[in-house]
């Protein structure tokens, strides 16, 4: 498992996205991430092609993080998982 910290790119993160099959990979920058399923040399896989409209629209945004945050709600998912985890642990 690799965690990719986009801050190390020294770029404006409002314009940076990461596509990955693991939420852990972009855990430091969840609002820059686009989750995608794993690719296993399947020549019929069209997932990247299906993302073209989204990528085009993101290229017009001032801050991609706002759009991706609202679209995928990854931070909300992680927060609810964390809340659930602590609820279960404390209930034991």
| E strand map for 2-56 | 18-20, 33-35
Beta-carbon contacts of residue 92 (< 8 Å; ≥ 6 apart): none
- Is pLDDT of 90 > 90? no
Q: What is the pLDDT of residues 24-81, one digit of tens each?
A: 899 899 999 999 999 899 999 999 999 999 999 999 999 999 999 999 999 888 888 7
35 forms beta bridges with 20
Q: What confidence tier does 11 reach under pLDDT thresholds 50, 70, 90? A: very high
The kind and range of the H/E element at 24 are: none
Domain annotation covers residue 53 = no
Q: What is the pTM of this model?
A: 0.81
| Residue-level pLDDT at 86 | 57
CATH number of the domain where residue 26 is located: 3.40.50.1000
Domain annotation covers residue 49 = no
Domain annotation covers residue 29 = yes
Residues 13, 7: Cα–Cα separation, whole Å: 7
Beta-carbon contacts of residue 40 (< 8 Å; ≥ 6 apart): none
Total domain count, the chain: 1
């Amino acid at each position: 498992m690799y965690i990719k910290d986009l801050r190390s790119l020294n770029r404006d993160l409002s314009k940076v996205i990461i596509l990955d099959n693991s939420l852990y990979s972009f855990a430091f920058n969840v609002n820059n991430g686009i989750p995608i399923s794993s690719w296993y040399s399947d020549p019929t896989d069209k997932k990247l092609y299906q993302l073209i409209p989204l990528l085009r629209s993101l290229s017009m945004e001032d801050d991609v993080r706002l759009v991706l945050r609202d679209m995928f709600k990854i931070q909300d998912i992680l927060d609810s998982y964390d809340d659930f985890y602590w609820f279960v642990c404390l209930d034991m």
